[in-house]
Amino acid sequence: MDVYFKKQITYFYEGIKFTFNVGNTLFSTFDIDHGTDILLRSISFKNPKSILDLGCGYGPIGIVLAKKFPSAQVTLLDKDLLAVRYSQYNIKENAIDNASAFGSVGLEQVNGEMFDLIVSNIPAKIGDEAITTDFILTPYSHLNPNGELWMVIVSALNHLIPKVAMKNKLNLKKIRKRHGHIVYQILKK
């Protein structure tokens, strides 16, 4: 590993054991974040061919989905290059061959690409404008027809997501609420 290594986390999903190496200063270094867990256990999309994990951190969402959907191509993006490095480590650690991780502010590195499924554990501290643009509207514009944007937010952001959906006429559905987190789905017709 490298000088930033903090620990290794084990996570079980649908009977499969995943191992994630975590670097100091990354999000949720003690265990898989509760929001990440509830999002993964809520997603009900059937057979996506292309998946984007936006703000991937050390990669748990994208890596689990890559294993769950082996015929899909999964792209993991994060603005934090240490997170990208650990996503790349964890892709190898979990023997995933259908995923790649890249450094990107928002969707800069995949401009022009379209996806069936976009997922994100939205960072709460980046501000309403950045969330609206980089985590809702721009990803929505990168969805294929019948594509889905799945997101989990902390309850403090619940004022924002329905407001953005209503203003932009997005087909928003509240899927689940648990322990201070809410999972939303936006379907693109």
**pLDDT, tens only, 113-151:** 999 999 999 998 899 999 999 999 999 999 999 999 999
Q: Please state the pTM of the whole predicted model.
A: 0.96
Tokens standing for residue 171: 């087909």
Cβ contact 187:171 at 8 Å: yes
pLDDT of the residue at 188: 97
Cβ contact 76:69 at 8 Å: no
Query: Considering its fold, how many domains does the chain have in total?
Result: 1
Helix (H, G, I), strand (E, B) or coil at 146: strand
Structural domain span for residue 27: 5-187
pLDDT of the residue at 57: 95
Residues of the chain with pLDDT under 50: none
pLDDT of the residue at 124: 87
The CATH number for 31's domain is: 3.40.50.150
Q: Which has the closest alpha carbon to 179: 34, 40, 61?
A: 34
What Cα–Cα distance (Å) separates residue 184 from each residue in 2, 39, 118, 156? Answer: 36, 9, 12, 14
